[in-house]
Structure 1
Amino acid sequence: MATTDFSFTKSNSGPRLAEFIAFVGDRKTEQVLKSFVLEQAMPHTHVAIGGVNEAIAHLSKVERSPQFLLIDLHDSVMPLSDLGRLAEVCEPSVQVVALGGRNDVGLFRSLLKIGVRDYLVKPLTVELLKRTVNVAEGKVSPVMLARSGKTIAFAGTRGGVGTTTIALNVARHLAEDTHRRVAYVDLDLYGGAANSMLAIKSNNGLNDVLQNVHRLDPQYVERTLVAKGARLFMLSAELDYGTAGAFKPGALGRVLELLCDSFHYVILDVGSITDPLAADAFDFASRAYLIAERSVHSTRETIRRLRYIEDRDNNPPTSLLLNNPNAASAGKVDLSDFTSAVGRPPLYEIPFESKAISIAENLGEAPHEKSSNGFNYSITRIGHDLTGQPSVAERNFLQKFKFRRG
C-alpha cells in the first residue's frame, strides 16, 4: 500500500489520525488528492491506495476519527454494506465523501440516506474537491437540494455555422412549447444577432450586470432583462466598437447563479470561443452543444474545440450538432468521414432550409411550421434532449406535420 502522509503523528496509544484521510483506487486520483491538500495547506492528512477494507483496518488502529474521510468504492460489490462496516469504526461526527466510477443516481440517493455527505464521480479534480470540501469552514459543502435552473452553452466551429439560429430557436421552443422560463444570454458584448432575430433592441444589460457584480441581487438582474413574451427574456450588450468591457474575472458566474435561481434554462450563446466570457460560460455550463458543418475546416475545429470544452475541470457533457446552413454542394465532408475524424457521431443533423429560416429571422418571428418542418423537428428533438420528454412527443410531431426522415 502506497501512502502519502503530511504531519502524521503518533501518541502513546497508537497513531493519531489525520484531519483528512482518503483511500483511493488509482495513482491518478492519489495525485489529485495530494495536489489538493498541498494547495489547501492542510497540516494533518493521510492519503493511501486502497478501498473500504484498507480504510477499516487503518481506522481501527487510531485513537480518534478524522474530520473528513474520502473513500473510493471502486472495488466494492455491495457499497452500502461496506460503508455500514466502515461506520462501525468511525465516530458519528466523521464527514464521509464517497468516490465512484459511475454516475448512479440511485446509489447517490442511497448513500445520502445512510449519512454520506456527497458522492463524487471520477475523474476527480482539484476544483471539484475544493467545491466539495470546505477546509476553511471545516465541513463538506451541503448537496444542493433546492431546484436550480440549467445553464446550456451553444458554440460554433466557425462564424456562420448557425449557432445563434439554433440556440435561439431552442430557447423559443423551451419557452413557448414546453412552458419553461428561459433566459437567453448573448455573450457577444458588441452585439450578436439574437436581438435582431427576436425584433428587440439591446439595453446593454449584460455589460451593466458584469460591471456591477458586487451589488447584484435577483431584482437587479431581472431589471436588466428584455422580455420577449411571457417566458423568454434576453440579456445582451451592444458596446461601441473599440470600447473595452470592464469587468472582473468570474463576474459572469455570479450573474448565471442568480439567473439559475429564477429560470428553468439559461441559454448561453457563445459568440467567440476566444472571448474571456467563453471560458466562464463553459466553466459554469451544465450542458454544451457544439455546432459544426461539413467542411474540412469545421471538422478540424470540431476536434480542437471539443478538446477545449471537455478538458476543463467542469467538463460539461457536450453534444455535436451537424448543421447544413447552405444548400447541398459538391465537396462536403462525408458524414462517415466526419464521424471518423472527430471520434464520435453528431447527436443530430439539421437539414438545410432554403427560405423559411432567413425570412423568419429578418421578420423577428419563429420559422413557419409547414415550410420548415425539418428544421423545427430538429429543434424539437434538441428540446426533448434537454427536458427529458419521452420519444412519443417526437412521434406526435412527425404525425402532426407528416414529416419523413431519409
Structure 2
Amino acid sequence: MAASDTVAASRPAGAESSSDRVPFLAYINDDESEATLRMGLSDHLESIAVRRGGIRAAIRALERERTPRVLVVDLSDEDDPVGALDGLAAVCEPDVTVLAIGNQGNIEFYREITRGLGVSEYLTKPLTRDNVARLFGARVAGLAERPSQRAGHVVAVCGVRGGVGTTTVAINLALQVAELTRSHVGILDLHLRSGTAATMLSARCSAGLRVALEQADRVDALFVDRASVKISDRVRLLAADEGPEADVAPTAEGVTRLLELLRTRCNIIVVDLRYPPGPMERQVLAVARQRVLVMRPDVASVRDVAAAKKLMAKIPNSAPVLTVLNRAGSPGALKTAMVTEGLGFAPDVVVPDLPRHLPRAANLGRPALKDSPALSRALAPLSQEVGGTRAVKAGSWLDRFRKGK
C-alpha cells in the first residue's frame, strides 16, 4: 500500500478534508446588490450562496463554521471597515479569497485594503453586472486562482533540556490562543519518537507526519488535512508515534513544505521542537515569528538558557526570544528572584508548580488548561503576545502590517 493510502486508511474519525469547505459564500446587506452579484457570477458558479448581513454577520458565523474558499463581504454599513477586516482575519482560514463591496470609492481606501489587508478585489456600490463579472468573476473562476496574501505565522516552542515541560506549554498555549482569538491554530509536534502531544490530547496519530517530513514532493493540502487530527473546531494536531527503532530521516525541505501548507490552513502554528535543534528544527526557528524557550528553576536550566539564546542569535531571524519559567516554586528549586539574577533578566512568563493538576491532566489525556485557572492566568501574557491584537484589540491589522509584524 502506498504511503498516502496508509494515511487515508488511518485517518482519525471526525477528521475533515478540504472538500468539506463551501466553495463560495457572500454576506450582502441589500436586495439590489445581491441580485447584481448573482447575475454577474452566474456564468462562473452553479450555486451562489448569499446570506443577509454585512461583515459583522460574517465574523459571527465564521467563528462557528469552516471558512469558504471565496468570501464576499459587504462593508457599506461599517463605520470601521479596516477594523472589521482585522476581525474577519482572526476567524478565517488564511487561504480564503476575500472580495469586498462598499460605499467608499477613494483610491487610498482601495489600496489600503487590497495591498495591506490581503483583500483580493473591492467594488463600490451600486454594483453593475459587468463589473461583478469582470472583476469578481476573475477571482471566482477556478475557485480563487489568486489566493489571499495572508498566511499564518509560526511559533517555535523549545525546551532548553528534556523534562522541562515544553509539550505542556506548547499544547496549552495553542488551546488558549484559539480560545482567546477564535483563530485557526495548528499544533505540530516534531518529537517524532516518543512525542507526548497526542497522548496529552487523547488523539491518535497516523503515518502522515513522517511521510510529509521525508518526502516533501508527495505532500499537498489534502494530504495534510488527512494526516492531522481535529482537536476542536479551531485546533488541529499533526504528530507522529514512531517507535525507538524507527529509522526516521526528516529533511529541512520536508518541514519547509509542511509549514507552507499549514500556514494556508492555520492562522497560527505552534511547533513543539526538540533540543538541541537539528537541520529540521533550525528551519522552523528560521521562519518563526516568536521563539519560546522553556526552562525549569534550576542551575542547569539557567546555564542552558544562556547557551540557547546564543544559538538562536546565530539562526537568521529577528524574531524575539521569549523565556518561560516552568514549575516555579517547586520543592528544592531556585527562587524566581535567583533565576532572574542568574539569567540577567526576568523570565517573560512564570508558570507555577502545579503538582496535582498537570500530571493528572496528562494521564487523563485532558488539557490542563481546562481544570487549572492558575495555568490559564500564567500563560495569558504569552497567549496575548502570540495572538497579537486579535487577543488584546490594540491597533489594527493594518498597523501591524505597517510595522512589519
TM-score tier, shorter chain, comes to 0.5 to 0.7
Q: Counterparts in 2 of 1:4-403, with a 5 A limit? A: 146-324=149-327, 328-330=330-332, 332-367=333-368, 372-389=372-389
Contact kept in structure 1, 2:176 and 2:376, CA below 8 Å: no
> Percent identity of the aligned residues?
26
Contact kept in structure 2, 1:192 and 1:271, CA below 8 Å: no
- Give deviations 1:148-197, integer Å, cap 9, x for gaps: 10100001122221111111001111223432111111101113111110
Task: Kindly indicate whether structure 1 or structure 2 has the higher relative contact order, using CA contacts under 8 Å at least 6 residues apart.
Answer: 2
Distance 2:325 2:250 in 1: 34
Q: 1:224 to 1:288 in 2, by over 3 A?
A: same
Q: 1:174 to 1:164 in 2, by over 3 A?
A: same
Contact kept in structure 2, 1:273 and 1:279, CA below 8 Å: no
Distance 1:392 1:148 in 2: 20
TM-score (norm 2): 0.57
After TM superposition, give the deviation of residue 389 of structure 1 in Å. Answer: 4.6
Q: 1:247 to 1:365 in 2, by over 3 A?
A: closer
Unpaired segments ≥5 residues, structure 1: 1-108, 114-143, 394-406
TM-score (norm 1): 0.57
Q: Which amino acid aligns with 1:212?
A: Q
Distance 2:213 2:227 in 1: 11
After TM superposition, give the deviation of residue 145 of structure 1 in Å. Answer: 8.1
Cross-structure match for 1:3: none
After TM superposition, give the deviation of residue 323 of structure 1 in Å. Answer: 1.0
SS at match of 2:331: coil
223-232 or 149-158: which moved more? 223-232
Q: 1:300 to 1:294 in 2, by over 3 A?
A: same
After TM superposition, give the deviation of residue 351 of structure 1 in Å. Answer: 1.0
After TM superposition, give the deviation of residue 379 of structure 1 in Å. Answer: 2.1
Distance 1:240 1:220 in 2: 22
SS at match of 1:155: strand
Q: How many residues align?
A: 250
After TM superposition, give the deviation of residue 368 of structure 1 in Å. Answer: 6.3
Unpaired segments ≥5 residues, structure 2: 1-111, 117-146, 394-405
After TM superposition, give the deviation of residue 322 of structure 1 in Å. Answer: 0.8
After TM superposition, give the deviation of residue 316 of structure 1 in Å. Answer: 2.4
SS at match of 1:234: strand
Q: Which amino acid aligns with 1:314?
A: N
Q: Which amino acid aligns with 2:317?
A: N
Q: 1:392 to 1:308 in 2, by over 3 A?
A: closer
After TM superposition, give the deviation of residue 380 of structure 1 in Å. Answer: 2.4
Distance 2:183 2:391 in 1: 19
After TM superposition, give the deviation of residue 225 of structure 1 in Å. Answer: 0.8
Q: 1:239 to 1:328 in 2, by over 3 A?
A: closer
After TM superposition, give the deviation of residue 392 of structure 1 in Å. Answer: 7.4
Larger helix fraction of residues: 2
CA RMSD of aligned residues (A): 2.6
Q: 1:319 to 1:203 in 2, by over 3 A?
A: same
